[in-house]
Amino acid sequence: MRWIVLCLVTLGWFSAIHPAEPLRCDDVPNECHKKPTSWTRCFENNIATCIQGRKPSFPIVHEMVNFSSSARSWAQMNLWSRHHVHIPWSALRKIGKAASEMMVVASVIDSTHFKLAPPNTPRQGRMKGRIPNNQPARVDGIVMEGSVLAVKAGNQPVSNLTQPINLIFNYNHKVENGTCVFWHEPQEGNGTGYWSTEGCDTSVNETAFICSCNHLSFFAVLVNPVLTVDESNSTTLSYITYIGSALSVLFAIITLIVYICLQRRRPEKAIGVHMQLTGALLCLHLSFLLSSFWAWRHKEEDLMCRALGLILHWSLLASISWMALEGFHLYLLLVRVFNIYVRRYLLKLSLVGWGVPTLTAVICGISGVYGNHSLDLRDSNQTSTMCWIKSSFPQTLVSYITIVAFSGLVILCNSCMLGVVVLKLRGLREDGGGSSSWNKMNKEKGTRLWKDCATVVGLSCVLGLPWGLAATTYISLPGIYIFTILNSLQGVFIFLWCLALTCKSRDNNNSSVRDPSTQKMMMTTSFNN
């Protein structure tokens, strides 16, 4: 027993004489990842006492600030000549309080040390399915150059500074849409966290991002961040979508009735193409409303939800297909002009416009890609679902191929066709009006300009060009609103286009006899048809 006590005393005496050697700064991140507790808190506890190696893998600056002797207006640290930290003197005094000196540490860490929480759980600390309201909002994106700037002063967490600190992130090449963020790792988390903009403002000059933050933490700049929508905006967008789709269903039915009446009076192939597009849009908006309603009432996936997802996918593909065929029909009328007779023209178009979507939807249905699709709202406590293509990886690849790639190709081709229409309209206006008087020509010029603008806008809706605004939904909240309004009300715009064509056709029938140019009459009539 005496030997055991003697050994313990000897070990304690030896430890007192030879204390444990501090960690090397290069080893702090890896060693902290081995701890069962939060690695970021372990990093903050050890980084102030670590020792630098000969060739450090990441730069670190230790600076002891003496409040009694220093007369500087701020503490400034430069790391790698790429990153700079400016801490106001008032903030340092608030942090140090009654202390005479304080250790300030700044370091640059590789972003791979930060483990992101899964996207479907953007905020940690869930309690019975609810997210605490005091958690900062999440922002996703790519960390610029993979560099995270850690700033620590004193031994306690620092927040709510009246005078913010400034962090400067320099960059070599042009970077757009950069946002200053800090790393939030919740108390109840499992070592994961996420980036948030709370308490940080971003300003940009030609060479650097300047982050002004009211706390000390781990900071970075996210480039091309994913735009998030808060709960109030998501609710507003949902109402706009549902009301717009309901109006589109109503006006699409009215448009079909108008087209049927026109087709009986004067059968034309153009009216037949417009009817097919209107029918596809009617199916699209109706299936969207049914899909959303069914997923809202039935949270669990069932056969009916899979069937509605198939119908919605088929309707969207059919709408995009008929928009492409509208562009093809416009090409025949404005570019080919002569010798455009095709036997059983509408039947062949129908085989493409309805056949290709049907074949694609059947193959996808057999593959089992349809079901509940989760729409996670990162800045709200809600998760919206709808009957659509499943949100897991193999199934989302189907939506990228059949929807994103296909619609992008159609929008590109139809945009070229719209450019041809603008050129043809300009040519018609320059050829006409040569024998008119000067006053009459000036009077009609403004009227023709408004009519041409209305024609181009209407054709844009028919050709599906508003779908191209989907790219703006990733960069700005107004872009989301514009995209939602234009595409949810597409049935209404088709109805207005139908009325415009009906009125314009009557005017052209009355004025075509007086047109001295036979080719102009043919082009105008073909265009309106």
Terminal Cα-to-Cα distance of the chain (whole angstroms): 108
* pLDDT of res. 475: 66
Q: What is the pLDDT of residue 7?
A: 45
pLDDT classification of 431: cutoffs 50, 70, 90: low
pLDDT of residue 489: 92
| Helix, strand, or coil (residue 247) | helix
CB count in 10 Å sphere of residue 131: 16
What pLDDT is recorded for position 282?
95
Per-residue pLDDT, 478? 84
The reported pLDDT for the residue numbered 523 is 39
Non-local (6+) Cβ contacts of 209 within 8 A are 144, 168, 169, 171, 175, 178, 180, 202, 203, 221
Q: Pseudo-torsion of CA 479, 483, 484, 486, nearest 10°?
A: 130
Higher pLDDT pick, 223 / 251: 251
Q: What is the pLDDT of residue 118?
A: 74
> Looking at per-residue confidence, does 507 or 249 come out higher?
249
Residues in the chain, overall count: 529
Q: What Rg, from alpha-carbon coordinates, does the chain have?
A: 33
HEC string for 415-482: HHHHHHHHHHHHHHHHHCCCCCCHHHHHHHHHHHHHHHHHHHHHHHHHCCHHHHHHHHHHCCHHHHHH
Q: Tens of pLDDT along 177-209?
A: 788 999 988 776 667 888 888 889 988 887 888
Residues 317, 360: Cα–Cα separation, whole Å: 9
Which regions of 171-311 does DSSP assign to beta strands (E)?
179-184, 194-196, 200-204, 208-213, 218-226
| Torsion of the alpha carbons at 410, 412, 418 and 422, rounded to the nearest 10 | -170
At 479 the pLDDT is 83
pLDDT of residue 44: 81
DSSP state of 57: S
Helix (H) or strand (E) holding 149: strand 147-153
Residues 250-288: tens digit of each pLDDT:
999 999 999 998 888 877 888 899 999 999 999 999 999
Lowest mean pLDDT among 11-20, 415-424, 500-509: 11-20
CA distance 311 to 283: 8
Contact by Cβ (8 Å): 311, 283: yes
| The pLDDT of residue 456 | 79
User: Is residue 56 exposed (0-12), middle (13-18) or buried (19+ Cβ within 10 Å)?
Assistant: middle
Q: Which of 274-288, 377-391, 504-518 has the least mean pLDDT?
A: 504-518
Domain 21-124+132-226 fold is Chondroitinase Ac; Chain A, domain 3 (2.60.220)
pLDDT at 17: 41
475 or 368, greater pLDDT: 368
How high is the pLDDT of residue 92? 76
With H, G, I as helix, E, B as strand and everything else as coil, classify residue 33.
helix
CATH number of 231-528: 1.20.1070.10
Domain positions in the chain are 21-124+132-226, 231-528
Q: Which residue has the higher pLDDT, 516 or 504?
A: 504
Question: Which is higher by pLDDT, 378 or 388?
Answer: 388
What is the C-alpha to C-alpha distance for residues 275 and 490, in angstroms, rounded to an integer? Answer: 14
pLDDT cut 90: percent of the chain above it: 21
**pLDDT tens-digit map of 436-459:** 444 455 556 656 667 767 777 888
**Is residue 121 predicted with pLDDT exceeding 80?**
no
Tokens coding 226? 């994913």
| pLDDT at 348 (0 to 100) | 92
pLDDT of residue 381: 44
Strands 147-153 and 218-226: antiparallel
Pick the closest to residue 464 from 322, 336, 295 (CA basis): 322
75 pLDDT tier (thresholds 50, 70, 90) = low
Q: Phi first, then psi: give them for residue 181, nearest 5 degrees.
A: -140, 165
Q: How far apart are CA 381 and CA 440, in angstroms?
A: 63
Which of 299-303, 422-426, 482-486 has the largest mean confidence?
482-486
Question: Which of the pair, 337 or 392, is modelled with greater confidence?
Answer: 392
Q: Among the listed ranges 10-19, 405-414, 455-464, which one has the minimum average pLDDT value?
A: 10-19
DSSP state of 401: I
- What are the residue ranges of helices labelled H in 298-405? 303-331, 345-367, 393-399
Map residue 340 onto helix, strand or coil: coil
The mean-pLDDT minimum among 59-73, 130-144, 172-186, 347-361 falls in: 59-73
Q: At what angle do helices 490-511 and 477-488 cross, to 10 degrees?
A: 60
Lowest mean pLDDT segment, chosen from 112-121, 187-196, 418-427, 459-468 = 112-121
- Residue 332 is predicted with a pLDDT of 85
Which range (8-22, 242-256, 278-292, 471-485) has the least confidence? 8-22
Instruction: Please tell me the predicted confidence (pLDDT) of residue 111.
Output: 84
pLDDT of residue 189: 61
Distance CA 314, CA 354 (A): 9
- The answer to whether residue 127 scores a pLDDT higher than 70 is no
Residue among 181, 185, 184, 194 nearest 221 (CA): 181
Which of 6-20, 70-84, 114-128, 401-415 is predicted with the least confidence, judged by mean pLDDT?
A: 6-20
**pTM surpassing 0.85?**
no
* pLDDT at 71 > cutoff 60: no
Supply the pLDDT for residue 290: 93
Q: Angle formed by the axes of helices 231-265 and 490-511, to 10°?
A: 30
Q: Worst-scoring range by mean pLDDT, 64-73, 342-351, 400-409?
A: 64-73
For residue 162 the two structure tokens come to 């009246």
- Residues contacting residue 498 through CB under 8 Å, at least 6 positions apart: 255, 258, 259, 274, 278
Q: What is the pLDDT of residue 507?
A: 58
The whole-number pLDDT of residue 512 equals 44
